[in-house]
């Protein structure tokens, strides 16, 4: 076996890889932001003692967590046009990522909310907050703080999992790698460099999350 690694074939395409990396970051950040909002609603629905909404939210969580991301992606991308909803690959990608991320974070937030002592709700009531206000301004921030590490690692899983959207020709980092290796035929080098870029992105986000923790959450008692 005559092995020679030729990484110099990858360098002319670094600009394309950076473009793909940027789209991966955009997809992930947008999906995580929207997913977190849905997750807060879902967690609220599960804990709100209204049976039908709790049941719907629970089924949503189970359905998302027990089916593959790739199948969810195909379902959104290929079957929504059947009911007249034609999506671009990137739109389908971000929608599937929102669904997937929220499915996991509902569970995380629910646990975090339940861990907050009931007197916190009562205290909110006693100073005249409505249930919605109590949830948004007292309970949710604490729940996010308590589950911060789970939420951020879920974010990293979402970022890595987003490489799967290349399967429906969204143009994320992995799709860009596929494209480049089809031009220069150096698949090993291209994929290794791409994997390295993912490692760096995840590492950078970990630093960012640590900074956010320092700035916003660490000062709370």
Residues that bind another protein (CB under 8 A): 1-3, 5, 62-63, 65-72, 74-75, 78-79, 82-83, 111, 114, 160-164, 166-167, 174, 177-178, 181, 185-189, 191-192, 194-195, 198-199, 202-203
Closest distance to another protein from the beta carbon of 164 (Å): 6
Closest distance to another protein from the beta carbon of 78 (Å): 4
Tokens of 216: 């916003």
Q: 68 or 141, CB closer to another protein?
A: 68
Fill in the DSSP letter of residue 84: T
Closest distance to another protein from the beta carbon of 148 (Å): 19
Q: 123 or 199, CB closer to another protein?
A: 199
In terms of Cα–Cα distance, which of 4, 10, 1, 3 is closest to 195?
A: 10
Tokens of 129: 């907050």
Q: 75 or 209, CB closer to another protein?
A: 75
Closest distance to another protein from the beta carbon of 53 (Å): 21
Tokens of 45: 């629905």
Q: 130 or 182, CB closer to another protein?
A: 182
Contacts of 137 (CB under 8 A, 6+ apart): 124, 129
Q: Around Cβ 43, how many Cβ atoms within 10 Å?
A: 27
Q: 102 or 181, CB closer to another protein?
A: 181
Burial environment of residue 33 by CB neighbours within 10 A (0 to 12, 13 to 18, 19 or more): exposed
């Amino acid at each position: 076996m005559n092995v020679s690694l030729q990484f110099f074939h990858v360098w002319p395409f670094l600009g394309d890889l950076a473009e793909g990396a940027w789209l991966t970051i955009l997809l992930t950040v947008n999906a995580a932001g929207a997913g977190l909002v849905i997750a807060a609603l879902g967690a609220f629905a599960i804990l709100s003692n209204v049976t039908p909404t709790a049941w719907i939210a629970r089924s949503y969580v189970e359905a998302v967590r027990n089916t593959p991301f790739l199948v969810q992606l195909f379902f959104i991308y290929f079957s929504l046009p059947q009911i007249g909803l034609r999506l671009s690959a990137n739109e389908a990608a971000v929608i599937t990522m929102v669904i997937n991320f929220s499915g996991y974070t509902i569970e995380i937030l629910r646990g975090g909310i339940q861990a907050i002592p009931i007197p916190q709700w009562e205290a909110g009531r006693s100073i005249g907050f409505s249930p919605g206000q109590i949830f948004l301004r007292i309970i949710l921030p604490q729940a996010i703080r308590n589950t911060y590490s789970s939420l951020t690692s879920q974010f990293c899983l979402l970022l890595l999992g987003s490489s799967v959207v290349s399967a429906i020709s969204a143009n994320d980092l992995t799709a860009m790698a596929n494209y480049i290796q089809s031009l220069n035929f150096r698949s090993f080098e291209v994929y290794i460099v791409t994997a390295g870029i993912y490692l760096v992105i995840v590492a950078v986000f970990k630093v960012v999350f640590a900074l956010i923790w320092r700035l916003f959450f660490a000062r709370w008692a």
